[in-house]
Structure 1
Amino acid sequence: PNELAELPDGTVVVRRVRTGYKRSDEYDRLEYALYHLAARSQFGGQAVVHALHLTDETAEPVVISATKLRNRREKSNAILAGITAGVFPTEVDAVTCPRCPHFFICAAAPPGPLKLG
């Protein structure tokens, strides 16, 4: 988080500060669920997550349903299990691959010499 604060009632505010506009799917993104999970783990039920969008001049609490939070937890656990196991599947993309710094050593590249024609 960008900021941690404690309210007079003891509630801990975990705040994310963004310089841009609030996106339409902003709070559906994985990072906000991770903020919620981390805040609960560290501070228990006495924590809330807020977002501050500087361009919009918007500051608001981030509310995520229990179902979405559970699904995001499962997704993040799967991601972490994959990282721990060393599983990094490649996603071949004609637009982003040529710009990638690992383009010439990528495991997704077919083996053998380049054949033209």
Structure 2
Amino acid sequence: MKYMIKMVFFLSVMFIANSGCAEHMMTSGKVEKLFNETLAVGDSESKIENFLKDHDIAFSYDDFMRRYQCIIRDPSPRKPKGYHSIVIHIYVDADRNFQRAEVRDSYTGL
């Protein structure tokens, strides 16, 4: 009987702890959807950079590849941290106008 009570208590705590976490967790799918809904082909350099700044996404620009490189580290509120990142490449034309964005997950091992 004690085992059953402990198990019910444990499952209840786990359910409460995890409820709501999933909706706030950043995923590559959510990031890609955000890009598709906000940026359009031909959008200017300033619009791209303002979008990234507004969403607190650190970025750099690679002249050779004509792309912005961004990374969102540890998008999950869960522990352990440090194994998952979302990598974003934003490709632009010669005038730095938006062409397309690629979003993917990156995982590291121990």
What range describes the TM-score normalised by the shorter chain of this pair? under 0.3
User: Which of the pair has more CA radius of gyration?
Assistant: 1
Higher relative contact order (CA 8 A, sep 6+): 2
Report the TM-score when normalising by structure 1.
0.25
Report the TM-score when normalising by structure 2.
0.27
